[in-house]
Structure 1
């Protein structure tokens, strides 16, 4: 973590200096804002936390609830989301508070009793430096809220407000979206106000008013199966009470055990009744007692003595995808840019069995956030926002299709096939781990994601997939660390130069030549897209990795571009140069298949996805790539 760049400031380094336009409601709601976010769920708060860090962007996030969530709803955090939390700076806090899911067990009936039929390692070796964890969704909300409160804009949600409608005026660029807000707080119910915005993002759930306002709808099907979810404190003799488990009884159905943070709390997902074609869950009158009674029958002959119910809900499995991710009709994409976009449950709904809802929702707005920042700060053309729909529609479609099949597997009768004696649910679970870890999304080639012509230079950094971190040593202070941990949430692009054999940064070497060109040539994307007065890494962050150990490299002899001077005092940034870690036997070149002879360039997007792999000498390709979505600084 870096701070004190523009002068010493005592106290909490996460508390940024307040901007002149910091959040203030003493005179009521603002008349105009840059962005209105509907909904304070994980998607909305993830987006708000990103936007809050930019002093010039005025954001408003509203929710009809009276205040922040305290309990219930989602709980599973994939390793991909944990990597994202690292960029926000709170992954370590989440790791400390949460329970880590290390193994999943599968129980099936045998001779009138339940038996453990299979075990599966939950996160395969080499997948990520991050664990799969479970934690109350409200705690994730708290951490995003802390980022917002500590940001330059001091952003706070406006609770007690619901987006009821909006209209878009496509003839103007001056806050063209008129948003109608309705008060829900006691004493003000039904009162309405309007706010004009440049952009609106609907994170307002499956019954989204924002989606309805742009003519969108959810399409798909329902499985007509009721499931109960319950958080409880209980005493039981079931052996795997603190292990994620799938339990299938002979006749009573299926449940899932998800141990929760704190050492005692447990969540159960319990299969309840089939529903008729036109029947809804609410018509059955089921409640917490229904869930507990069914769970006790599934666990039998093991006992379940419930001491306290913390939260419960009953839901019907549905798999639906919206036909509209933004407000631009298909026949107007070439002439209009989005002003209204959807994220999270507003555009995709599914069962919670694979633990993907919160994760994919945050992935939506982590994809969107840097694009909005780039557009609102004038770094990119508004047409960049079309890429949100192009990229996240495919991700949502894959999620809904996966969940449809996975829900069917979880609910089917016990079966064993071939030589593998494990139940099918265990085999499918293991096969699906890359998906449930959040690592299968791969963005197609576009202006933001290059082709695979040079992928062989670094096959471990798959173009279009998330940047797979690996251990390195930071040269200036010999600190062992993960290379991916220098990626912070924002709009910065990252350019990693991996040196070839024999290159120690010396003059005339490939890395030094690249640095000299990036530092001074008019065709350099850093020169072309960095504004006067900006720090040199404000838009494109250059870093280098060498094959030698840190004791064999001379920091003072490194190219000037890797030792940039920044801020009002011109202080040197010492955190741009890395090398392998021979002491611990960690070699990023071997782990990610980087070409040792030639080295390469790896371009990483602000949302931690690999955008391109290029040779170190690929000057024209580098210039053209960044020119495809960044405006010239002038």
Structure 2
């Protein structure tokens, strides 16, 4: 006899858990099947890039991460000196100033997983994880896959020596580079490995090297090494290129000899080694990401690469972040299953771009490659700095699709890029004068967000235009999917005014932007903001940052995962309905 679920998640890594966070919040019936006997205790990944921290903030999970993690604020470059040693050549900010209001941090993957699991339990009362579940077979009934509600995916496992069978509408392969799901479906990893071998170790060092608590890139005549300070004040991670042909040739003695040569004239004594490994660089991409749009591969199950750019855990988590809200929308009957096709197009594009980048990034780390191709130490450092936006996870731009619609109105918010994540800016909340990030108004509750920038409503024409837009919006929202007849349950409205906040009157704000909400039906004042000076945090200049002319205004549609879907002007409210018509589901008065 089989157990039945809406979604089976095979693997409890960062991709699977992030998808599960969405499903738990949306009340979806799911199960996580994990081969390990318990939670991850010590993860190999530790870099939490800026975009991932933004995602965790969106999910309301960043507080503990920021409190516990090491914050990577500065990058030190070291080069050969003229005395057979090394010298610090210069310092750079780790993340381009102004790129995000959040930092790049270092925190063990096991702790990130723990935070995600805690949220799943908080949302649904249980972790949904079946540990000790070894996946043996995944089969899709392709004929039944065309029927939306069919449980056409069968997963067979071995648990405590006993075979068990699960059936579901959808399944996610989140089970790592040696994915049993991928192998069962007959998909292959395509790519290659290089003959460059790197060692990685977490150590407690006793040293006189001055930048041991900075992220540092050391290029010496004896080799290359990257320092990543770990959370706490003592442990650091070393990545170093090794002069061997295979990982099996790497021994602790050879690594220590290498360290001594690279750090010369500084001394490094290893008080204790917490973790040690060696690897050869490989970049591979799965030949398929989905089977009948019922089983989807995520994370290392569909893309593998070197760890030096710190992308593995981050891109995997972002895969889960992408597919999770889409599955929830389909299973809640808010969207047609066709939106799941965008997971493949968006994340395959991202994974391919990552592998192309990683291939060049890994080459630039290689002393032999730089020497053969005439690259200097300065060339490498310039390349490293220029790659910062990419390694921060902030260069992703999804291509046009049913969920991403660039158009001729995009110039109305010239600082906003359709298909990219919506960058935050400081604004002041109208109700209580609190300076805050606008991204905090985009809540991870599966709703789309429509951000309205009308300009200065102290101008009579602007106020009139805003009330006209509100009237048209209300008509449109009644035709979108709803939950319990709440027109705000699918599309959340956010208002950002360009006015003198202290002269604003409540009557100048259409009631549509302050609906009654919650158990007690209290007037919601959380989504009305002003781009104005705050008492203690200065002026956010949000209109300038977003490139919005306050005399003309603009409206920005943001997906549940914070990516910009489209930009509209005040004459095009009906275009919002046209946008959703291709995939949103029928309502009583609906269009689909």
Which of the five TM-score ranges fits, normalised by the shorter chain?
A: over 0.9
Residue ranges of structure 1 left out of the alignment (5+ in a row): 1-28, 329-337
Cα shift at 1:34: 0.9
Whether the 8 Å CA contact 1:472–1:586 is kept in 2: the answer is yes
Whether the 8 Å CA contact 1:69–1:138 is kept in 2: the answer is yes
Deviations 1:256-289 (A, max 9, x none): 10001111110011212342xxxx534x3x3444
Q: Does 1:569 align with 2:520?
A: yes
Instruction: Map 1:78-89; keep pairs closer than 5 Å.
Output: 78-89=49-60
Q: Does 1:462 align with 2:417?
A: yes
Following the alignment from structure 2 to structure 1, what is the Cα–Cα distance between the partners of residues 350 and 242? 30
Following the alignment from structure 1 to structure 2, what is the Cα–Cα distance between the partners of residues 305 and 534? 66
Residue among 299, 303, 306 paired with 1:348? 303
Q: Does 1:529 align with 2:480?
A: yes
Following the alignment from structure 2 to structure 1, what is the Cα–Cα distance between the partners of residues 367 and 485? 59
Structure 1 81/595 Cα, relative in aligned 2: closer, same or farther at 3 Å?
same
Residue among 476, 490, 493 paired with 1:542? 493
User: In structure 1, the residue corresponding to 2:549 is in which secondary structure?
Assistant: coil
Cα shift at 1:504: 6.9
Residue among 253, 259, 281 paired with 2:247? 281
Which piece of structure 1 moves more, 574-583 or 315-324? 574-583
Q: Does 1:209 align with 2:185?
A: no
Residue among 229, 235, 244 paired with 2:206? 235
The answer for the alignment partner of 2:216 in structure 1 is 245
The answer for the alignment partner of 2:505 in structure 1 is 554
Cα shift at 1:500: 2.7
Whether the 8 Å CA contact 2:6–2:29 is kept in 1: the answer is yes
Structure 1 494/505 Cα, relative in aligned 2: closer, same or farther at 3 Å?
farther
The answer for the alignment partner of 1:25 in structure 2 is none
The answer for the alignment partner of 1:7 in structure 2 is none
Cα shift at 1:76: 0.8
Cα shift at 1:553: 1.2
Deviations 1:162-203 (A, max 9, x none): 2221111123342111101122xxxx2x43211001111001
Whether the 8 Å CA contact 2:31–2:130 is kept in 1: the answer is yes
Structure 1 414/349 Cα, relative in aligned 2: closer, same or farther at 3 Å?
closer
Cα shift at 1:413: 5.3
The answer for the alignment partner of 1:176 in structure 2 is 152
Following the alignment from structure 1 to structure 2, what is the Cα–Cα distance between the partners of residues 64 and 633? 42
Whether the 8 Å CA contact 2:68–2:231 is kept in 1: the answer is yes
Deviations 1:100-121 (A, max 9, x none): 1111112122221111123221
Instruction: Map 1:382-401; keep pairs closer than 5 Å.
Output: 382-401=337-356
Q: Does 1:481 align with 2:425?
A: no
Whether the 8 Å CA contact 1:470–1:482 is kept in 2: the answer is yes
Residue among 102, 105, 129 paired with 1:130? 102
The answer for the alignment partner of 2:575 in structure 1 is 621
Cα shift at 1:361: 0.8
The answer for the alignment partner of 1:5 in structure 2 is none
Following the alignment from structure 1 to structure 2, what is the Cα–Cα distance between the partners of residues 383 and 199? 14
Deviations 1:383-406 (A, max 9, x none): 111110011111000000000000
Deviations 1:122-152 (A, max 9, x none): 1111100011111111111111011011112
In the superposition, the TM-score normalised over structure 2's length comes to 0.94
Following the alignment from structure 1 to structure 2, what is the Cα–Cα distance between the partners of residues 90 and 567? 22
Following the alignment from structure 2 to structure 1, what is the Cα–Cα distance between the partners of residues 316 and 443? 19
Residue among 145, 161, 174 paired with 2:117? 145
The answer for the alignment partner of 2:547 in structure 1 is 593
Following the alignment from structure 1 to structure 2, what is the Cα–Cα distance between the partners of residues 233 and 316? 25
Structure 1 216/505 Cα, relative in aligned 2: closer, same or farther at 3 Å?
farther
Whether the 8 Å CA contact 2:334–2:481 is kept in 1: the answer is no
User: In structure 2, the residue corresponding to 1:324 is in which secondary structure?
Assistant: coil
Residue ranges of structure 2 left out of the alignment (5+ in a row): none
The answer for the alignment partner of 1:259 in structure 2 is 229
Following the alignment from structure 1 to structure 2, what is the Cα–Cα distance between the partners of residues 127 and 505? 36
How many pairs does the alignment contain?
Answer: 578
Following the alignment from structure 1 to structure 2, what is the Cα–Cα distance between the partners of residues 295 and 467? 42
Which piece of structure 1 moves more, 294-303 or 378-387? 294-303
Whether the 8 Å CA contact 1:535–1:567 is kept in 2: the answer is no
Following the alignment from structure 2 to structure 1, what is the Cα–Cα distance between the partners of residues 257 and 11? 35
User: In structure 2, the residue corresponding to 1:509 is in which secondary structure?
Assistant: helix
Structure 1 576/506 Cα, relative in aligned 2: closer, same or farther at 3 Å?
farther
The answer for the alignment partner of 2:331 in structure 1 is 376
RMSD of aligned residue pairs (Cα, Å): 2.1
User: In structure 1, the residue corresponding to 2:351 is in which secondary structure?
Assistant: helix
User: In structure 2, the residue corresponding to 1:529 is in which secondary structure?
Assistant: coil
The answer for the alignment partner of 1:58 in structure 2 is 29
User: In structure 2, the residue corresponding to 1:625 is in which secondary structure?
Assistant: helix
